[in-house]
Chain A
Amino acid sequence: MKEQEPVNFTVLDLLSLELKEQNDLKLRCVAGRAGLSREITVPDLNRPGLALAGFYELFAWERLQIFGRGENAYINKIEADGVADQIYEKLFSYKLPCCIFSNNIEPTARFAAAADVAGCPVLITELPSVEFTIRVIRILHDIFAPKIIMHGVLVEVFGIGILLIGDSGVGKSETALSLIERGHRLVADDVVEIRCLNGTLLMGQGTNKVIGHHMEIRGLGIINVTHLFGVGAIRDKKQIQLVIQLEDWDPNKVYDRIGMDEMTMDILGVKVPKLEIPVKPGRNLPIIIETAAMNERLKKMGYHSAREFNQNILRWLESESARTMYFFRDDY
């Protein structure tokens, strides 16, 4: 496990993100193309109204600058008043990552020209400011989310995202293969990129689309899961809800036999339930993992098998001892 270096994310990267439906930013670039390589360093945005009005204290220039109807109206006013040039000069003296006009507003020719000179990209979005703000913050936070790469296999079993980890050769890929064969889904084999969203949720996916959904099975080589098992057998990303560590059976180690004390694993500051499952010939791992997934679902629904079982025993013991006290069982 190792944390990644800081993200290098440029305006061009923002434009070339393949986003769909509720994430589509509907952006296009209209001026300042020379600056498309400018980096976006913070996942935040700013309305530059105060800056345009000449107040530059605490100006958050390093953020994306969003120009809505209000800012645009102000731009039209200063251009009509003939004071626009020095305002633009001051504004573009900061190395703004980019200016984004919402509501499909075309920036004035003068503004575009000033941006071209400064090499500051000017983008237009079809979306209204509020909707754009919501989407872009969500997307940037995902991109800037803490990230880690782990060795393991991520599968979805009965809707639960399970990360299988363990030493090389313990049978992670083989186990995943039997799970796929039983109708579950593969998210990523061997190299799983995990991002912590909102500080509470771990999203796992493969690192690379080109080699995604391939598996290496010893003795077979590299197989294409999508082609062999169909698109129903794969999934692009999935939240990690359970970690299962597979390990060679160690006769000296004490494995959990009841399931009352829950182990967790810390990934990027998020605690994920973890199970340690010993591997031995003859143990049917796919079925054990399926059961673990269903048990996890049951827990999420509020029913904890092991605890419930123990409570029943305690209740029964209590009633039994009460009965013996009243009826003096020994006398029968």
Chain B
Amino acid sequence: MVELETTIKNRAGIHARPSALIAQTAIKFASRIYLEKAGNRINAKSIMGIITLAASFGTKIKIIAEGPDEQQAAEAIKALFESGFNEELG
């Protein structure tokens, strides 16, 4: 199991578009991938799940991956967060 921490870097937070990007990236990996905010853990392959996190600008998010390609998966998701989803950064 791999656990990485990240923060929301784009001003608008995780709305529909970023959440779709995360889910699309996550679904390419065989591992189970989760995002966790303040103890709430959701499946990173589910768009509605990611939106439910209500992750606004500056929120700390934990990325958890479990499976054969866990390291790559967690890093790919983290890179996505770090890039701010090609949106305006805060």
Chain A positions within 8 Å of B, measured between CB atoms, are: 2, 4-5, 149, 151, 168-169, 189-191, 207-208, 211, 214-216, 222
Contact = CB atoms under 8 A, between A and B. Distances in A.
Interface of B is mostly: mixed
A151 B32 CA distance: 12
A190 B47 CA distance: 8
Contacts of A208: 52, 54
A151 B23 CA distance: 14
A215 B48 contact: yes
Interface in B28-79: 36, 38-43, 45-49, 51-52, 54
Nearest to B38: A5
Interface residues of B, number: 17
Nearest to B26: A168
Contacts of A222: 16, 47-48
A2 B39 contact: yes
Nearest to A151: B43
Contacts of A214: 48
Contacts of B39: 2, 4-5
B45 A168 contact: yes
A190 B41 contact: no
Contacts of A189: 48
B80 interface: no
25 contacts: A4-B40, A5-B38, A149-B40, A149-B41, A149-B42, A151-B42, A151-B43, A151-B49, A168-B45, A168-B46, A169-B27, A189-B48, A190-B46, A190-B48, A191-B46, A191-B48, A191-B52, A207-B52, A214-B48, A215-B48, A216-B46, A216-B47, A216-B48, A222-B16, A222-B47
Q: Which 4 A-B pairs have the closest CB atoms?
A: A5-B39, A190-B48, A168-B45, A2-B41
Contacts of B16: 222
Contact of A151 (B27, B38, B46, B54): B46
Nearest to A210: B54
A190 B49 contact: yes
Interface of B: 16, 27, 36, 38-43, 45-49, 51-52, 54
A255 to B, nearest CB: 23
A173 to B, nearest CB: 9
Contacts of A215: 48
Contacts of B27: 168-169
A122 to B, nearest CB: 31
Nearest to A3: B39
A189 B42 CA distance: 13
Contacts of A207: 40, 52
Contacts of A169: 27, 45
B32 to A, nearest CB: 9
A149 B42 CA distance: 7
Contacts of A4: 39-40
Given A190-B48, A191-B48, A216-B48, 6 more contacts: A4-B39, A5-B38, A151-B43, A191-B52, A208-B54, A222-B47
Nearest to B33: A168
Nearest to A222: B16
